[in-house]
Structure 1
């Protein structure tokens, strides 16, 4: 099973959002990592067959998804960044409604709704109105609807944005659980979403593919670029002006430990540190890390 992207591009007017992107996926979880505006959502919408590219092709098992049409939609599940729920529907009624839209026979739909509610841990809440659910519970209903057709490709766009840490962990564990024999594409700008579950990480920046590799190989690539140095409080602004400072921690009276991203040693007293995915994000995207 494979999903192949070849020379994909997308423009809105004069603005090019995706620029000659080529990637190949097989079964497993892939993290699509990028800052806001990097083209992640546009890529996910094209892969979900919601948006047409300006150029390039997408193939599922070597078949162009444009030619597959409905046959492709039958093998994908999609959780967009913002799901439109009917607030007065119960979780069960909402899922039965979506199952009908997906063309599942009524008797099959009932069993499938039971199955996905159990999978996402909402069996006991099946009669609860979705409008009263927490953000995390709504996202679990969202992933349940995406799984109704037992998809081979599951596409989830920024699924943990706004969730508390407990719900975020629950959601990550759920994605890892359902990834067996599926291609799971998870777009995010939150590095902890992909740290432990992604087979590979795809890094997008300004619509272009920068890297696609395993988390460990990506970290190995910046192993000599992460430093820590202890400085006085008065020195901090100078370091922030010259370098990417990922973390500032107080270690004593007026003394702070700075974690710095730099291609060269930033200070004679700086010590090389083992990198993590937050360092990786800061290295590629010059903005504050989301956590």
Structure 2
């Protein structure tokens, strides 16, 4: 399966939110990485046909999704940043309701809902009202509803915002487990969401496609751009003003800084192995990486 974005642009008035985006996706997990305001959510909403592009097109297996219309929508699952859950519904009832909207017959829906509640670890809570659920549990209900039609393209937009580390890991592992034979697009500004599971990372910045490559290749491009430097307490402010500082660790013999810089910051600096947090900081300056 191939999902291709061709010369996609989106404007809101005079504001260009997406600028001539060209991307190709195949089966597997893709991390759509960018700071808030980079155009990630707009791209996601165009891919699920909630928004229309100003120009350009999206093609699935050689067919324009505009022409495929309902046939395309039947192939996608979507978890937006904020999903509207009926707080008085139990998890089971909510999923049965969504299943009916997606055209599943009652017997098929019952079987699928039970399967998905098991998959997301909510079987024992199936009769509990979703209004009593934690944020992580609500997101698990959200991913379950997105999977009801067994989508070939699954799009999740900022799914772990506000979740604790344990729920983030659970969600990440779940996406990895269900990625076989489908395209999974995970939009995020939290690098730990895509660590270990993304086969490729797509970097958006101010509406433009900056990079698209395998994580190892992207990190390889940061070789000799990430440095450790030992400084004194009195030099700290100076270095923070001059360089992108990823980490500050106080040692017995001084302060160790992790610096992202195209050139060696000082003669005694030592090159170190880059990670995804360094990648984010390299492209997005001092934005939150979490």
CA positional deviation for 1:233: 1.1
What does residue range 123-272 of structure 1 map to in structure 2 within 5 Å? 123-252=123-252, 255-272=254-271
SS at match of 1:161: coil
**What SS does the aligned partner of 2:159 have?**
coil
SS at structure 2 position matched to 1:268:
coil
8 Å contact 1:8–1:55 — kept in the other structure? yes
Distance (Å, rounded) in 2 between the aligned partners of 1:226 and 1:174: 32
> Over residues 229-263 of structure 1, what are the superposed CA-to-partner deviations in whole Å (9 max), with x where a residue is unaligned?
0001110111111111111010126x110000111
Q: 1:43 to 1:62 in 2, by over 3 A?
A: same
Instruction: Find the residue that maps to 2:35 and give its secondary structure.
Output: coil
Q: What secondary structure is seen at the aligned counterpart in 1 of 2:168?
A: helix
| More divergent stretch after superposition (150-159 vs 231-240) | 231-240
- Is 2:127 aligned against 1:115? no
Which residue matches 1:282?
281
Unaligned runs of 5+ in 1: none
Instruction: Return the offset for 1:288.
Output: 3.5
Retained in 2: the 8 A contact 1:278–1:289? no
Report deviation, 1:79: 0.1
Q: Which residue of 1 aligns with 2:86?
A: 86
- Tell me how far 1:289 sits from its aligned partner: 3.6
Aligned-partner Cα distance in 2 for 1:41–1:213: 20
- Match of 1:241, SS? helix
- Tell me, yes or no, if the aligned pair for 2:35 and 2:287 is still in contact at 8 Å: no
TM-score of the two chains, using structure 1 as the length reference: 0.98
Q: Is 2:69 the counterpart of 1:59?
A: no
User: What is the match of residue 4 of structure 1?
Assistant: 4
State how far apart, in whole Å, the 1-side matches of 2:45 and 2:266 are. 45
Give the Cα separation in 2 of the matches to 1:49 and 1:110: 28
CA–CA distance in structure 2, aligned partners of residues 98 and 249 of structure 1: 49
**Partner Cα separation in structure 1 for residue 105 and residue 67 of structure 2:** 25
Matched position secondary structure for 1:155: strand
State the distance in 2 between where 1:244 and 1:56 align: 36
| Distance in 1 of aligned mates of 2:100 and 2:287 | 43
CA distance in 2, matches of 1:289, 1:233: 24
Separation in 2, partners of 1:127, 1:97? 14
Query: So what's the TM-score if we normalise by structure 2?
Result: 0.99
- Give me the whole-angstrom Cα distance separating, in 2, the residues matched to 1:49 and 1:114: 29
Q: Gaps spanning 5+ residues in structure 2: where? A: none
Query: Shift of residue 216 of structure 1?
Result: 0.3
Give the distance between the partners of 1:258 and 1:117, measured in 2 at CA.
45
| Residue 290 of structure 1, CA deviation | 2.3
Give, in whole Å, the separation in 2 of the partners of 1:137 and 1:7.
38
- Secondary structure of residue in 1 paired with 2:141: helix
**DSSP 3-state at the match of 1:22:** strand
In structure 2, what is the equivalent of residue 16 of structure 1? 16
The CA RMSD measured in Å over matched residues stands at 0.7
Matches of 1:29 and 1:71, distance apart in 2 = 22
CA distance in 2: counterparts of 1:55 and 1:190, whole angstroms: 29
Instruction: Find the aligned partners of 1:206 and 1:287 in 2 and give their Cα distance.
Output: 15
Q: What is the deviation of 1:18?
A: 0.2
